[in-house]
Structure 1
Amino acid sequence: MKKIIALLTAICFISCQDKEIGTLLSGKITNLDAKSIKLEGLNFSKEINLNADGTFSDTLQLDYDGLYSLVLNDEKQRFIYLENGFQLNVENDASDFKKSFIFKGNGSDENNFMLKKTHIIDSVYGDLEDMENAKILFTLDEKTFIDKNESYKKVILAALEKEKLTNEHFVKYEKLDADYHVLRMYEQYPSYHGYFIDNREFKPSESFPLAKDDFSMDNENLFKFSFSYRNLCNGFFSKKMYDGPQSDKTPIEKGFAALKTIKSKLIQSELVKNMFYELNGTTPNLEAVYKEMLSYSIDKKYKEKLTEKFEIVKNLAKGLPSPSFDYENINGGKTSLESLKGKFVYIDVWATWCGPCIAEIPALKEVEKEYHGKNIEFVSISIDDKKDHEKWKKMLADKELKGIQLFADNNWESEFVKKYAIDGIPRFILIDTEGKIVNADAPRPSDAKLKELLKEVGL
């Protein structure tokens, strides 16, 4: 009996000791005007302090083996692969962020392969961050596009074989990632191809290798490892919310129904983030929806963000006083919401860089023309950065935009934007003649429901 107890104690000690080992992440970042960097993961965030010379060292307690993002200045980021017990050294010149990574130590083989994978992706597809390269790729005909993706898979698998990596877990999931990378490209093809050939109704042939309707969003190990699989899961979840069969269910109801089919709490916690935008002043049973969204999350930061939004949007219900604005207008003066009292106000929150916003302009012009002379003002509030003020003025002239054109004082951080919890544009709002909210998330000009709403209020 004593021997059994001793053995169990030893096993427990070894297991606990393994968890306490952690992952040592060290290195040096040069030419970075910051005192820290970040490591972001699934339900994981850690700020790592830099010494004066750019060196750093931190022992991390990781919840999973897989992909993490190394983030500089909240904008430059790169996936790195980490496992419990790694002692990985990372060197980078922030002025040449993408090309200057050097990995050493335990875990360097895996991360050096990921560097090689990045080079292979660029060599096969071109730099997809460059819009011209993306256009060249996604305007290819179906057969050529398929051939290019199959070529990528052959090249990446050959490179993986050549490396002779000893980490069987890493090799297994890299092989799977090759399949899901190609599937992700296929899923992106219809919308990107349609966009670049200016045919939004484009549909690929029936033989085009899109994912099946029974695509599984419930492989937790793959979700931890593969960005492409994560991307596909998010895409399929959004499809279930918005593009599924027409029914009397709202996107929120369809989202919750999809979450219930997933066993992984981690994946549920990530996918529920896609529902964040649906929480607004028009959400039926707002508090119940908020609590159910909370129940699916294990991400402390997301819960805090969701709660912050709930506290704002519960004050945006129909009939409540609207938050106000007082912004610069195109004529050089200022226009406030109070100055428009006595008229209905239809507000368009937009920006010159926002494609969907610009796509609504023709429909907005038509609505403005139809309701000209009626008791309604059309107000467009730009949340462009101050440096793009002249760009805003030029677009107003080029597009011959009418209505009341305003420029917000602090882009996304403008008070009106924050008080309406606006986290995506375009955003449309209808306010009544007394300055009270009619609809905090009103239909777009291109949506027939807008005219129904205007008819309901007597316009």
Structure 2
Amino acid sequence: MKKNILTGMLPVAVCMAFTTVHAIAGPGPVQPTLTTIQGTTDNEKATKLSLYAVVEGQTKEVASTEVNADHAFAFALQKPAEGFYYISAYPKDLGTRIYLKSGDQLNLAIEGHSFKQKTGSAENKSLQQWNEVAAPIMSPAYTIDSVTFHSYFPKLEATQPKIAAFKKSFTSTNKSFSALMKVTMDADIEYAAMRLLLTPRSDHPKKEQYPAFYNTIVQDKKFCDANYIRLGNINDYMQIYNTFQFIIGDRTAARPAQAELLAKKVNGICNDRLKALALLNSMGAYKSLDELTTAMAPYQQYFSTPLEKQRYNDYEKSIRKFNAGEAGYNFIGEDVNGNKVAFNDLKGKVVVVDVWATWCGPCKAELPHLKHLEEEMEGKNVTFVGASVDEAKDKEKWKTFVHDQEMKGTQIFMSGWSEVTKFYDIKGIPRFMVFDQQGKIVTIDAPRPSTPELKALIEKLLAKG
């Protein structure tokens, strides 16, 4: 009799809050509160499998485990976020899609990019049934090898009635799964059908040879359902869709300018999270800071989640240097009256930024010197910005401090170590930064007001005009 692989036959990979933990070896039953995935893979070359979650449209490895000599594997996770996960032996291959929720106990036989569930959940039973219905057109054999449209198009048309029947009969008491499957079924078929056309092959069809299904793909407004962002292949799917729009359109027309193409892409998406994802995936086309900031300026409002902002900032940092003459980062804070203040709003003047906090002793020690410098610069083309990194819970304390200390200039609240500190990699405060009248960096590590060098630097910039 074979042992249950979770009781010592294999190391068990444990995931805690999307943090991968090394496999735990040893006998003993797995805690019943864990979500477990065990089974076998038909990939005889696989020695390791990784489990990927989807986080705001990005796949993230959350656990890994070894595959033993019997091709068996096992994962154990603590309270995974509900949704699609992907089991893969290769980093660049999305692998086998499954559905997980907390408490699931799955036993699967992985077969290529699909699976058969021996024991498990109602959700994966439905997902397996869907895979079987859509297999003739989803199978990698029909999307990445040399098979041409001559064999694929008949399969696409023959499968459509079966797909329609499955959609009509599909039901689930799990509302989250049901909503996700609604977009998944359409996405799977569209993705596979478009990919067939866009993969190099020995023979390609003319547009008049396309089955009628292709005419249903392009729509004035696409990706309207937020659940699309829960798909592991959403980035590739959106990219393929954009290319498909081009090949199915009028290719004799002049290619629009880059800004027009980006605007068309964004305006054709009706969900803000998907707009943000499309914008983030477009950033690689811009290799200079000026190009990037100019292109993204009309769309900054779509970067609203911490992860979206981080991805944008990380890319911006990767293509820029903090040398003198580089454009300053357009950070945004809130003044004492609750109004938004953006760095770019201050262009036209020399800008001195003081990154500080009410709890910072050295920051408060500079305050008298800063006030004196502000008095000396009064009436000149310079503005002083106090960017507080006090935590959100101390916002009222910050307001009181600003009032009691009669702090001048533009005082803004940054809600902790965010935006400006992360972008400029500020590890300690106070930090003074100086920018010229065009909003370009003079220095991001300026002298403090308690030294004469800061005043001299400002006067030098003012003299240049």
Under a length normalisation based on structure 1, what TM-score does the superposition of the two structures give? 0.45
Structure with the largest fraction of helix = 1
Q: Who wins on radius of gyration, i.e. which is larger?
A: 2
